[in-house]
Amino acid sequence: MGSGMAEKRWLPFITAVFVTSLVVANIIAVKLVSIGPFFLPAAILIFPVSYIFGDILTEVYGYAAARRVIWIGFGCNLLAVFVIDLSILLPPAPFWRAGSLESTALSQRAYEVIFSATPRILVASFMAYLTGEFLNSFVLAKLKIATAGRHLWMRTISSTVVGQFADSTIFVSLAFYGTVSISTLALMAGSQWLLKSAFEALVTPLTYLFVKFLKRAEGVDVYDRQSDFSPLRWRD
C-alpha cells in the first residue's frame, strides 16, 4: 500500500488540524493565563491537540507519515513567524487605529508587543517542538510493536509523557534560564508537563474512537518494524 499523503483521504484533514494547532499555539502563547494555582501560556488550551493528532498519525499511518507532518508543521510555523515579522516592519497606514487606542503610533506599538517574539523564545519553541514531537512519535511506534498493537491507552499516554517532558523542559530552560530562579523554572516546566499529560489522558476515549474510525476508513494500520527512525528523512 502506498504511503503518499494524497492516497489517504483523511490524512490532509489531520495534517491541517495538527498544523493549525501549532500556529495558533504560537500566536496565543504571548498571554499568560491562570488555571487554578498555575500560571501558564494560553497555548496550553490548544497545543496538546498536536500531541493527540501526532499519536493518531503514528498509530494509523506510521512513523514516516508522522515525520513528514511534523516537518510540515515546522515549516508552516517558520512561515507564520516570517510573515508576522514582515507585517511588523511594514509602516502602518496613518489612519489606522487598533481598537480604542488613540493614535497610529500606539496601535503600532501594541501590535509589536503582542506579535513580536525574541530570538531566544523562537529558538526555544522550535527546539522543544521538534524534540518533543519526534520523541512522542518514536516512543509510540516502538510501544506498538512491543505490545503487538494492544493497550492503546497505555501507549498514547506513555509517549505523551515522554514527549511533553522533553518539550516542557527544553522550552522553559532555553527560554527563561537566567531570568528566573531554578525552582521557578522547575515549577513552570513541571506544571506544563503535568497539565498537558493530564489532557492526553482525559481525551483517551476520543483518541480510541478516532483511531478505530481511521483504521477502518483508510484500511491501514502501520507497524514500523522496518522503519528508519531518523528524523531527518523525508521519504519512507
Average pLDDT, integer, range 156-175: 91
Question: pLDDT tens for residues 57-72?
Answer: 999 999 999 999 999 9
Provide the pLDDT for residue 181.
85
Provide the pLDDT for residue 7.
64
Provide the pLDDT for residue 4.
43
Q: Copy the grid coordinates of residue 2.
A: 502506498
Which of 23-37, 76-90, 157-171 comes out lowest in average pLDDT? Answer: 23-37
Provide the pLDDT for residue 63.
96
| More confidently predicted of 60 and 51 | 60
CA distance 41 to 31: 6
Kindly indicate the confidence band of residue 2, based on its pLDDT and cuts at 50, 70 and 90: very low
| Res. 1: pLDDT tops 50 | no
Residue 208's closest CA among 155, 160, 147?
155
Provide the pLDDT for residue 42.
82
User: Could you give phi then psi for residue 40, rounded to 5 degrees?
Assistant: -135, 155
Question: pLDDT tens for residues 74-96?
Answer: 999 999 999 999 999 999 999 99
| Res. 48: pLDDT tops 80 | no
* CB neighbourhood size of 54 (10 A): 27
Question: pLDDT tens for residues 101-157?
Answer: 889 999 999 999 888 876 788 888 899 999 999 999 999 999 999 999 999 999 999
| Res. 3: pLDDT tops 70 | no
| Res. 45: pLDDT tops 90 | no
Q: Which residues contact 161 (CB under 8 A, 6 or more apart)?
A: 193, 197
Q: How many CA atoms lie within 13 A of 182 on its CB side?
A: 0
Average pLDDT score, the chain: 88
Residue at grid coordinates 495534517: 15
* CB neighbourhood size of 197 (10 A): 21
* CB neighbourhood size of 110 (10 A): 13
The amino acid present at 221, given as its one-letter code, is: D
* CB neighbourhood size of 28 (10 A): 16
| Res. 27: pLDDT tops 50 | yes
Q: Copy the grid coordinates of residue 136.
A: 512522542
Residue at grid coordinates 509523557: 161
| Res. 206: pLDDT tops 70 | yes
Q: Are the beta carbons of 8 and 51 closer than 8 angstroms?
A: no
CA distance 133 to 115: 24
